[in-house]
Amino acid sequence: MKHVIIGSRGSELALAQTHFIAGELRKLDAHIEVEVRVISSRGDTIQDVPLAKVGGKGIFTKELEVALLDGTIDLAVHSLKDLPTELPRGLCIGAIPPRENPRDVLVSRKFPSLAALPQKARVGTSSQRRQVQLLAYRPDLQILDIRGNVPTRVRKLEEGQFDAIVLAAAGLNRLGLSHLITEVLPPQVMLPAVGQGALAVELREDNTWLRELLAQLNDTGTAAAVTAERALLQGLGGGCQTPLGALAEVRGGELSLTAIICGPAGGEALRVYLERPMEQAAEAGREAAAQLLDMGAHLVDATSPPRLPRSGEDAASTHPLAGRRVTVTRAMTQVSGLAQQLETLGADVFAFPTIEVRSVDVSGPIPPPDAVNWIIFTSANAVQYFQEALAATSVKLESYHRCSICAIGPATAEAVLRRGLPVTLQPEEAVAESILQAFIASSCTTRSPHRCPRKRWRRCWPLLPK
């Protein structure tokens, strides 16, 4: 029996999509054992920042692609709208199943349609594409950012934080929440994201038998439609956060493509429409991109607000890393901060962790607070894992508040302070050798408990040089 591991993001929607593909694989071959493995993406872990500011292409897919390349998983299931148009070398799309409804929908508790919303109604969406099209149709609306998975967004609506929210019909349908849809927004008002409603199954190019198996799941009409849309996006040079709306549909072997690209805050929008034979899907997308560029379209990428170079300034000065690919080798949980800064400078960042941070089994019981003089934290990770190890024994980190605490650097000190503990000592340099030097410099020079100026003789004296 062959064992296939499918990687998925951990959201309810992502898992529903992945389990659908897993079920289809089992139908194709009863001798396949399928395992679903959850892999967290940078877009999932950063929930307190507007999506447009998280930055970069592939914020929901890179970690899955890393797992594919290193052999941790065999397949990855993506919402196609999240997948960059250029895949890492060695990876390919093995199947694009039939598309769900690609359109956007309005969800509201009180109002029956977008037109019926009152003046200055609060509408939640994290998509720049949706924001600019909403404002083009209703400039009076208050567009508010909303993050979280589909159930979280619906809950925020029900709590009264918004008058309405805009979601993808496909997500609601796949989660069995179609009854929440208030209005399906027509293409004249809201064109969907490139690839919206479609799934993509990604795998390694050299996995021949899986590619042959997945080919049976591919839908030619859907594949042609999204090929046209992705060729359009690639022709404009954009990413999944570009405020570009596009919808290609195939009927009777003919492909129609409608696209719109918008300026920020409901500014001028440029729209194209063309029809071509289905076999010319990629050419249709490239032609639509060329038409938009000829009409004066400028790429408006949500990760960097549009700005034309000033007189005497070229693009290299505003995005000095444009065209450069940068590999970040930090642990996956710590990639986001550096990656965002690099992407702001124009780099295409690829996360390739060469280390992994994990907890270790403690050989014996952790000493109780009254048996500890000092705790030395050598990283922010150490603070987190020490807290988790204590929690496993029903002990709170706060119970060590009477201990002296050494934090090796500012990030580690911040991690300690965030957990409500004071930092007693922080070396000038964030290296292990500096800890000993800091101890010697800061310890009491007396061994007498009666003359200790800081009343901490029992904690300090064992650290003094003999």
Tell me the catalytic residues.
82
Report strand pairing: 348-351 vs 244-251.
Answer: unpaired
Report strand pairing: 104-107 vs 164-168.
Answer: antiparallel
| Pick from 304, 399, 369: nearest CA to 343 | 304
Three-class HEC string of 103-167: CEEEECCCCCCCCCCCCCCEEECCCHHHHHHHHHHCCCCEEECCCCCHHHHHHHHHCCCCCEEEE
- Contact of 403 with 375, CB cutoff 8 Å: yes
CA distances from 443 to 309, 338, 451 (A): 56, 37, 13
d(CA 435, CA 413): 13
User: From the CB of residue 110, how many other CB atoms can be counted at a distance below 10 Å?
Assistant: 12
Would you state the structure tokens that stand for residue 216, as one six-digit string?
């049976």
d(CA 110, CA 266): 25
Residues 6 or more apart whose Cβ sits within 8 Å of residue 238: 244, 299, 301
- Residue that is written with structure tokens 């991109």 in the block: 289
Strand partners, 258: 247, 273
Q: What is the phi-psi region of residue 74: left when phi exceeds 0, alpha when psi lies from -120 to 50, beta otherwise? A: alpha
- Residue that is written with structure tokens 């950012």 in the block: 145
Residues 6 or more apart whose Cβ sits within 8 Å of residue 458: 373, 449
| Pick from 98, 56, 414: nearest CA to 239 | 56
d(CA 408, CA 405): 10
Alpha-carbon dihedral sign for residues 166, 171, 173, 176:
negative
- Residue that is written with structure tokens 């004296």 in the block: 461
Query: Side-chain half-sphere of 82: how many Cα atoms within 13 Å?
Result: 24
d(CA 170, CA 199): 10
User: From the CB of residue 29, how many other CB atoms can be counted at a distance below 10 Å?
Assistant: 14
